[in-house]
Amino acid sequence: MPWRAWGQSCLKHCCRWWRSEVPAPWERYVAAARAAAGPAASPDPPPAVEPDGADAPAGERAPERARAEARAPERVPAEARAPERAQRADFRLVPSALAGWTAAWVGARIAPSASGLTALGLLTSAVLLLALCRGGRRRSLRAAAVAFALPLLAAAVVLAAAGARMSAATAGPVGQAIAGGATVIAELEVTGEPKALVRPDVHTGSDRVAVAATIRAAASNGLLFEAAAPVLVLGDRAWLALQAGERVRAAGTLREAEPGDSVVATFSPGAPPVKTAAGSLLRPGGGGAGSSPGPQAVRERFRAAAGWLWPEAAGLVPGMVVGDRSAIPAGLNAAMKETGLTHLTAVSGTNCSLVLGAVLLLCRSVRLPRRVAAAAAAAALLGFVWVVGPDASVLRAAVMGGIGLAAVLPGRPGKPGAALCAAVVLLLAADPWLATGYAFVLSVLATAGLVLFGGRCATWLHRWLPGWLARAVAVPLAAQLFCGPVLVLLQPQLTVYAVPANVLTAPLVGVVTIAGTASLVVLPLLPPAAAVLTGAAGVAAQAVGGIALVFAALPGAALPWPEGAGGVALMAALSVAGFCLLAAASHHSAAVSAVRRAGSRAGRAAPRRWLRRRAGLRAAAKYAALFVATALVAAALAAIPVGAGWLKDQRRWTIVACDVGQGDGLVVRTAPHSALVIDAGPDPVPMRRCLDDLAVTTVDLFVITHFHADHYGGTAGVLAGRKVRAALASAAGGPVPKTVDDQLRGAGVPLERASEGRSGTTGSVDWRVLWPVAPLPPPAAVPPNPNDSSIVLNVEAAGSDGSRLSALMTGDIEEDAAARLLARGRLAAVDVLKVAHHGARNGGSDVIRSSRAALALVSVGAGNDYGHPAPATLQALSHFRVQVARTDLQGRIYVDKEAGVLEWSGSK
Tell me: the pLDDT tens digits for 179-220? 888 888 889 988 877 876 644 444 444 557 888 889 988 888
Q: Is 394 buried (19+), middle (13-18) or exposed (0-12) by CB count in 10 A?
A: buried
For residue 82, pLDDT over 50 is answered with: no
Does residue 349 or residue 810 have the better pLDDT? 810
pLDDT confidence tier of residue 295, bands split at 50, 70 and 90: low
Q: Which of 412-421, 447-456, 521-530, 549-558 has the lowest mean pLDDT?
A: 412-421
Q: Please give the pLDDT value at position 728.
A: 93
294 versus 246: the higher-pLDDT residue is: 246
Which string of b and e fits 250-264 if b means at least 16 CB within 10 Å? bbbebeebeeebbbb
Q: Are residues 445 and 490 in contact, defined by beta-carbon separation less than 8 angstroms?
A: no
pLDDT score at 405: 55
Confidence check: pLDDT of 846 > 80: yes
Per-residue pLDDT reduced to its tens digit, 789-815 = 899 999 999 887 677 899 999 999 988
Distance from C-alpha of 401 to C-alpha of 443, rounded to nearest angstrom: 9
Predicted local distance difference test score (pLDDT) of residue 323 = 76
If one compares 599 and 605, the residue with the highest pLDDT of the two is 599
Instruction: Check residues 533 and 241 and name the one with the higher pLDDT.
Output: 533
Contact 753, 791 (CB under 8 A): no
**Least confident interval from 42-46, 301-305, 379-383, 583-587:** 42-46
Least confident of 304-308, 484-488, 903-907: 484-488
pLDDT at 522 over 80: yes
Q: Does residue 451 have a pLDDT over 90?
A: no
Q: If we measure between CA atoms, which residue out of 831, 839, 827 comes closest to residue 876?
A: 839
Q: Say how far apart CA 651 and CA 769 lie, in whole Å.
A: 29
Highest mean pLDDT among 358-372, 555-569, 741-755: 741-755
Question: Per-residue confidence at 487, pLDDT binned at 50, 70, 90?
Answer: confident
Kindly tell me if the per-residue pLDDT of 289 is higher than 90.
Answer: no
- The count of other CB atoms within 10 Å of the CB of residue 288 is 10
**239 band by pLDDT with thresholds 50, 70 and 90:** confident
Which of the residue ranges 52-66, 218-232, 568-582, 736-750 would you say has the lowest mean pLDDT?
A: 52-66
pLDDT band at 512 (very low <50, low <70, confident <90, very high): confident
Q: What is the mean pLDDT of residues 855-862?
A: 92
Contact 322, 521 (CB under 8 A): no
Residue 680 predicted with pLDDT over 80 = yes
pLDDT of the residue at 860: 92
How much is the average pLDDT of 405-418? Answer: 57
Which pLDDT value is given to residue 779? 46
Who's near 813: CB < 8 A, 6+ residues apart?
Answer: 771, 787, 788, 790, 792, 821, 836, 837, 843, 847
What pTM was estimated for this model as a whole? 0.58
Q: What is the DSSP string of 538-595?
A: HHHHHHHHHHHHHHHHSTTSEEE---HHHHHHHHHHHHHHHHHHHHHHHHHHHHHHHH
State the first-to-last Cα distance of the chain, in angstroms, to the nearest integer.
57
Minimum mean pLDDT range among 273-277, 614-618, 783-787: 614-618
Residue 265 to residue 690: CA distance in whole angstroms: 36
What mean pLDDT do residues 4-27 have?
46
State the pLDDT at residue 476: 73
What is the residue-averaged pLDDT of the chain? Answer: 75
Which range, 7-11, 335-339, 893-897, is most confident? 893-897
Identify which of 650, 649, 703 has the alpha carbon closest to the alpha carbon of residue 675. Answer: 703
From CA 550, how far away is CA 559, in angstroms rounded? 16
Tens-digit pLDDT profile for residues 107-157: 888 888 888 899 898 888 888 888 877 655 667 777 777 888 888 998 999
Angle between helices 527-553 and 498-522 (to 10 degrees): 170
How far apart CA 646 and CA 689 sit, in angstroms, is 10
Report CA torsion sign: 487, 490, 494, 498. negative
Q: Residue 393: which pLDDT band, with cuts at 50, 70 and 90? A: low
Angle value at C-alpha 451, between 450 and 455, nearest 5 degrees? 75
Q: What is the pLDDT of residue 774?
A: 65
- Looking at 608-617, 710-719, 788-797, which range is the least confident one? 608-617
Give the least confident one: 189-203, 299-313, 548-562: 189-203
**pLDDT at residue 679 in the model:** 95
CA-wise closest residue to 422 among 92, 124, 88: 92
Give dist(CA 794, CA 806) in Å, integer: 7
Greatest extent of the chain over all pairs of C-alpha atoms, in Å:
119
Query: Which residue has better confidence, 98 or 244?
Result: 98
Q: Which DSSP category does 85 fall into?
A: P
* Residue 424, H or E segment: helix 416-430
Name the range with the highest mean pLDDT among 77-81, 389-393, 490-494. 490-494
Q: Please report which confidence band the pLDDT of residue 615 belongs to, taking 50, 70 and 90 as the band edges.
A: low
DSSP for residue 796: E
| Higher per-residue pLDDT: 38 or 311 | 311
Provide the strand spans (E) within 116-155. Answer: none
Average pLDDT over residues 253-268: 84
pLDDT digits (tens, 9 = 90+) for 34-75: 443 333 333 333 333 333 333 344 444 444 444 444 444 444
Mean pLDDT of 823-852: 88
Determine the pLDDT at residue 791. Answer: 92
Q: Give 700's pLDDT tier (boundaries 50, 70, 90).
A: very high
- In the structure, what pLDDT confidence band is assigned to residue 857 with cuts at 50, 70 and 90? very high
* Range ranked top by mean pLDDT from 441-445, 594-598, 827-831: 827-831
DSSP-assigned beta bridge partners for residue 210: 195, 234
At 903 the pLDDT is 86
State how beta strands 759-762 and 765-771 pair: antiparallel
Distance in angstroms (rounded) separating the CA atoms of residues 486 and 449 = 13
Query: Is 362:380 a contact under the CB 8 Å cutoff?
Result: no
